[in-house]
Amino acid sequence: MADNAVISARNVVKAFGQGAGAVRALDDVSLDIGRGEFFTLLGPSGCGKTTLLRLIAGFEMPTGGTILLDGADITTLPPNRRPVNTVFQSYALFPHLTVAQNISFGLEMLGRPAALVKARTAEMLALVKLEPMASRKTSQLSGGQQQRVALARALAPQPKVLLLDEPLSALDLKLRKEMQIELKRLQLETGITFVFVTHDQEEALTMSDRIAVMSAGRIQQIGTARDIYIHPKNRFVASFIGETNFLTGSAEAGALRLATGERIEAPGLTAGAAATISVRPEQVRLSLPSDGLKATVRALVYFGTDTHCHLHLADGTEIVARLQSPASGEAGLAVGQPVGLRFADGAVQRVED
């Protein structure tokens, strides 16, 4: 176990069904989630992120492997004996109870003394800024307010870990952005470890200390938002987090040789077989046709702050360059125009297939 890990998964496998119709929702997943971390499981629908969350909560048992909490094996411990709480996408509030009653419910179920329940409920109401609504029924609240009640209720018993399963997906875009900031604040103020599930890369990038990118039941990469964006390990991660350009060619010492014969400096590459590099659109620079890779402008799309310039290399490879729009809004380029392409220092990243 890593020294400060609160949750560890070791070689976790989860299969549903048997025989030909069996689904391997998790396929040998191992990770450590640090104490006090905002840790996000990110991946497309069906990649296994909710299944992993449910295994940590104890709602499901793994087919193989172990789950540890503070170094102790909790793999078969029932959910109510784990110091873990879950916030669901649907909030699952009690509509006939008031905001305060919803928050105190879990504490009462745990048999906490009345004075403590009262004090803790007041503290939670203040934390999520819902004091003026304490006596309202939750059916009389907006979606964002209901989400705050669900968070307060889950945080009230001071769990060691709070699990959040796409908790913002029912909110509209503006509210979702506000709640992203709010969630991060709650996590910092309480110091509780948050494990957050989402398929939304922006949500993951804005809130997380670290992100585990998942695909087809496997962890593809774990790292900070910066690590993953700047040094994506493989094609899947590079294209799932942000947008990117891929260039394929043969590897030479410190360079990639394209089919056109042109050479791109790629530090770290050693002579060998075929290789792929990734370059983010904002790292592509346009210059004169005699300078850099030969390319032709195919389309220009104005996005306000920036303009996306779609280009073709001589061998037909498509490249997108994201250029900051000048004050006039005109990028000074025309479709069909020949240009030269260069990549910013450090922008070329080798990726596995």
Q: Of 50 and 276, which CB lies nearer to ligand ATP in the complex structure?
A: 50
User: Rule CB under 6 A: is residue 51 a binding residue for ligand ATP?
Assistant: yes
**Contact string 111-150 vs ligand ATP (x = CB under 6 A):** ----------------------------------------
Binding footprint of ligand ATP, residue count (CB under 6 A): 13
Which phi and psi (to 5°) does residue 12 adopt?
-80, 130
Length of the chain: 353
**The binder of ligand ATP chosen from 40, 50, 102, 146 (CB under 6 A):** 50
Nearest approach, Cβ of residue 46 and ligand ATP (Å): 4
Which residues sit opposite 264 in a β-bridge? 256
Q: Got the DSSP string for 305-331?
A: SEEEEEEEETT--EEEEEEEPPTTS--
Nearest approach, Cβ of residue 178 and ligand ATP (Å): 23
For residues 55 and 14, the answer to whether their CB atoms sit within 8 Å is: yes
**Contact string 169-208 vs ligand ATP (x = CB under 6 A):** ------------------------------x---------
Q: Of 167 and 249, which CB lies nearer to ligand ATP in the complex structure?
A: 167
User: Rule CB under 6 A: is residue 12 a binding residue for ligand ATP?
Assistant: no
- Burial state string for 253-285 with b = 16 or more CB within 10 A and e = fewer than 16: eebbbbeeebebebeebeeeeebbbbbbbbbbb
Q: Of 50 and 283, which CB lies nearer to ligand ATP in the complex structure?
A: 50
Integer CA distances (angstroms), 221 to 140, 162, 260, 281, 353, in order: 42, 22, 32, 21, 14
Which range of residues in 48-56, 65-73, 143-151, 310-318 is near ligand ATP by CB under 6 A? Answer: 48-56
End-to-end CA distance of the chain, in Å?
A: 30
Which residues sit opposite 257 in a β-bridge? 250, 263
User: Rule CB under 6 A: is residue 48 a binding residue for ligand ATP?
Assistant: yes
Nearest approach, Cβ of residue 23 and ligand ATP (Å): 5
Q: Of 215 and 276, which CB lies nearer to ligand ATP in the complex structure?
A: 215
| Residue whose pair of structure tokens reads 């039941």 in the numeric block | 217
Which range of residues in 3-11, 40-48, 279-287, 308-316 is near ligand ATP by CB under 6 A? Answer: 40-48
Q: Of 24 and 118, which CB lies nearer to ligand ATP in the complex structure?
A: 24
User: Rule CB under 6 A: is residue 307 a binding residue for ligand ATP?
Assistant: no
User: Rule CB under 6 A: is residue 45 a binding residue for ligand ATP?
Assistant: yes
Residue nearest to ligand ATP (CB): 50
Single-letter amino acid, residue 217: G
Q: Which two tokens stand for residue 170?
A: 């029912």
User: Rule CB under 6 A: is residue 47 a binding residue for ligand ATP?
Assistant: yes
User: Rule CB under 6 A: is residue 25 a binding residue for ligand ATP?
Assistant: yes
Integer CA distances (angstroms), 329 to 11, 286, 288, 303, 340, in order: 53, 17, 21, 9, 22
d(CA 328, CA 337): 20
Q: Of 15 and 314, which CB lies nearer to ligand ATP in the complex structure?
A: 15
For helices 114-127 and 173-190, the axis angle rounded to 10 degrees is 130
Which residues sit opposite 128 in a β-bridge? none
**Residues binding ligand ATP (CB under 6 A):** 16-17, 23, 25, 43, 45-51, 199
